[in-house]
């Protein structure tokens, strides 16, 4: 693909203004893990967990053929410290893309909790501009006294902010769909596209649930939560995850008693996660 076409393509108004599905996730308790773990051990565990989780999550999304004839996953990801970003390429139809990101996010959370990491996330639909800067050819650098420097991609947009805001609003390890998208929900539930949405509901990939939110967040209706429990490995003993959460609960309770004398917010997150896990493990979903 010619460089001038690629630059025009990525800098077009289409990529600057279009909306797409975005998932934003945070690894809970990451600071404590880093401080309590030897550096190389921490790096290896995080790297291996990310690699396995993102690969399995990406595998369920369909592939598309790029202009150069190469298979390119439609599910993209970016990881920085304790934050993980999922986003769908904007040329993919919005309804199938919703299906892909819901299932991919469920797999991501399930694989992380299998490795003793807790993820909290939210999915939203909105603007996300990804600036994929193209390196300048040598000739241009020589002839241009102030060439644009090469840099990492820039991620900016309302959709990213909305996903981050709803991720931070929750008091558990889990993931929800942004409820404040009336135009998007109308499309998802419309007759022409409801088959995919209904399939996610009927197959228990999406569940209407009384999601625990922080006190400062006031939202009366039950939200759509992603059922990550469904994607836990079948070879994993059901009790293993419960035991892990209970152990984390005991650690947090001890810290809370030492520092506050009352049950603190981190322990509440574990309690809420256990409630969700037990409910959907017990009904065999």
Span 35-91, pLDDT tens digits: 999 999 998 998 898 888 878 876 765 555 444 444 566 788 888 889 999 998 877
Q: Is residue 261 part of a domain?
A: no
Per the structure, the count of domains in the chain is 1
User: Which residues contact residue 83 at a Cβ distance below 8 angstroms, ignoring those fewer than 6 apart?
Assistant: 24, 25, 26, 27
Q: Is residue 259 part of a domain?
A: no
**Structural domain harbouring 56:** 3-231
The per-residue pLDDT for 167 is 97
Q: Judge whether residue 5 has pLDDT over 50.
A: no
Angle between the N-to-C axes of helices 94-114 and 194-202, in degrees from 0 to 180, rounded to the nearest 10: 20
Token pair listed for 129: 């501009």
Q: Judge whether residue 285 has pLDDT over 60.
A: no
Q: Is residue 255 part of a domain?
A: no
Cα-to-chain-centroid distance, residue 118: 12
Q: Judge whether residue 3 has pLDDT over 50.
A: no
Bridge pairing between strands 118-127 and 175-177: parallel
DSSP percent split of the chain into helix, strand, coil, nearest 5: 50, 20, 30
Paired with 207 in beta bridges are 225
The per-residue pLDDT for 129 is 86
User: Which residues contact residue 43 at a Cβ distance below 8 angstroms, ignoring those fewer than 6 apart?
Assistant: none
Lowest mean pLDDT among 49-58, 198-207, 230-239, 242-251: 49-58
Q: Is residue 280 part of a domain?
A: no
Mean pLDDT of 223-251: 90
> Distance between CA atoms of 270 and 283, rounded to whole angstroms?
20
Residue ranges of alpha helices (H) inside the chain are: 3-10, 13-17, 30-36, 39-59, 94-114, 138-143, 158-168, 182-188, 194-202, 238-259, 265-282
Q: Is residue 207 part of a domain?
A: yes
CB 274 within 8 A of CB 242: yes
Q: Is residue 263 part of a domain?
A: no
Confidence of residue 277 (pLDDT cuts 50, 70, 90): very high
Q: Is residue 257 part of a domain?
A: no
Enter the pTM of the model: 0.82
Instruction: Report the CATH number at residue 180.
Output: 3.30.70.1230
Mean pLDDT over all residues of the chain?
A: 80
Mean pLDDT of 103-129: 94
Using one digit for the tens of pLDDT, what is the confidence trace for 162-188? Answer: 999 999 999 999 999 999 999 999 888
Nearest to 222 by CA among 208, 233, 203, 235: 208
At 88, which helix (H) or strand (E)? strand 83-88
């Amino acid at each position: 693909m010619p460089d001038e076409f690629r630059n025009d393509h990525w800098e077009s108004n289409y990529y600057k203004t279009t909306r797409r599905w975005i998932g934003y996730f945070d690894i809970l308790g990451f600071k404590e893990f880093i401080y309590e773990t030897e550096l190389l051990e921490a790096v290896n565990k995080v790297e291996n967990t990310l690699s396995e989780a993102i690969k399995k999550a990406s595998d369920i999304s369909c592939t598309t053929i790029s202009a150069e004839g190469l298979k390119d996953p439609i599910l993209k990801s970016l990881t920085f410290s304790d934050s993980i970003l999922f986003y769908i390429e904007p040329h993919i139809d919005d309804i199938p893309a919703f299906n892909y990101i819901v299932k991919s996010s469920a797999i991501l959370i399930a694989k992380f909790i299998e490795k003793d990491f807790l993820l909290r996330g939210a999915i939203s639909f909105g603007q996300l501009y990804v600036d994929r800067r193209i390196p300048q050819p040598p000739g241009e650098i020589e002839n241009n006294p102030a060439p644009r420097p090469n840099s990492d991609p820039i991620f900016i947009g309302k959709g990213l902010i909305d996903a981050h805001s709803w991720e931070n609003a929750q008091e558990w390890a889990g993931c929800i769909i942004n409820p404040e998208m009336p135009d998007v929900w109308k499309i998802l539930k419309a007759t022409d596209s409801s088959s995919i949405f209904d399939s996610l509901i009927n197959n228990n990939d999406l569940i209407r649930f009384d999601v625990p939110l922080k006190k400062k967040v006031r939202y009366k209706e039950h939200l759509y939560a992603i059922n990550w429990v469904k994607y836990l490995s079948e070879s994993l003993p059901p009790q293993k995850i419960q035991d892990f959460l209970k152990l984390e609960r005991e650690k947090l309770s001890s810290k809370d008693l030492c520092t506050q004398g009352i049950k603190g917010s981190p322990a509440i997150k574990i309690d809420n996660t256990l409630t969700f896990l037990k409910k959907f493990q017990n009904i065999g979903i």
